[in-house]
């Protein structure tokens, strides 16, 4: 595995907070009066899910989780999606909002959408805090998106590298030893 050199802040906690407030406002408007269930995709979405759920005002809101993996410990997608924790909730007639940390190739969400297709949900939409449109390998686009970012490997706000850095409040670019010099001012770790 490449050695980590330093972290460079890309999006601050304050910017994220403002964006989550904004997304919650849109979701409140679109889901008012509907039987809604947030489906968090573990592990990456746990921070965003907690923030978003506490900013919306949907009294009938339910929360559920699935754990899937498409990445090993590396920074490139394998294209294979494994379900590690399956749904227990009945989705019949529910409006499902998939909550994700990042849409990269789109493979994970394309797989999940087809997996959920015969669960009789009233609707299935996607809300992601980060989006890397330049990396897309499927047609899939999120319905709600926090920030479109360039093709860089990022950590923090739930996102990991080899299971680390999820707890960082900012979204940071991870720079590796031996890579071309990036922006200055990153924090050495």
104 a catalytic residue: yes
- In whole angstroms, the minimum distance from the beta carbon of 102 to ligand IMP comes to 5
- For residue 61, give the nearest of 50, 71, 47 by alpha carbon: 50
Q: Is 159 helix (H, G, I), strand (E, B) or coil?
A: strand
List the catalytic residue out of 104, 143, 151, 160: 104
First to last CA, the chain: 16
- Closest CB to Mg ion among residues 44, 146: 44
Applying CB under 5 A, does 158 fall inside the site for Mg ion?
Answer: no
Q: Give the Cβ contact number of residue 152 at 10 Å.
A: 15
Applying CB under 6 A, does 70 fall inside the site for ligand IMP?
Answer: yes
Applying CB under 5 A, does 44 fall inside the site for Mg ion?
Answer: yes
Applying CB under 6 A, does 108 fall inside the site for ligand IMP?
Answer: yes
- In whole angstroms, the minimum distance from the beta carbon of 104 to ligand IMP comes to 3
**Using CA atoms, how far apart are residues 56 and 118, in angstroms rounded to an integer?**
28
Query: The tokens of 44 are what?
Result: 């990456």
**Using CA atoms, how far apart are residues 153 and 55, in angstroms rounded to an integer?**
28
By CB under 6 A, name the one of 6, 46, 115, 153 that touches ligand IMP. 153
Footprint of ligand IMP on 7-46 (CB under 6 A): 44
- Catalytic residue set: 104
């Amino acid at each position: 595995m490449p050695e980590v050199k330093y972290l460079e802040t890309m999006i601050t906690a304050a910017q994220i907070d403002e964006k989550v407030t904004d997304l919650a406002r849109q979701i409140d408007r679109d889901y008012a009066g509907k039987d809604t269930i947030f489906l968090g995709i573990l592990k990456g979405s746990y921070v965003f899910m907690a923030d978003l759920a506490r900013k919306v005002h949907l009294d009938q809101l339910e929360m559920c989780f699935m754990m899937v993996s498409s990445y090993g410990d590396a920074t490139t997608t394998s294209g294979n999606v494994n379900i590690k924790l399956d749904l227990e909730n009945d989705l019949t007639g529910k409006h499902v909002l998939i909550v994700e940390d990042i849409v990269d190739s789109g493979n994970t969400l394309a797989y999940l959408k087809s997996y959920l297709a015969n669960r009789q949900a009233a609707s299935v939409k996607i809300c992601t805090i980060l989006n890397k449109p330049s990396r897309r390998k499927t047609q899939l686009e999120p319905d709600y998106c926090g920030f479109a970012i360039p093709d860089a490997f990022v950590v923090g706000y739930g996102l990991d590298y080899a299971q680390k850095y999820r707890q960082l409040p900012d979204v940071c670019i991870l720079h590796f030893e031996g890579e071309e010099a990036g922006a200055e001012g990153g924090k050495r770790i």
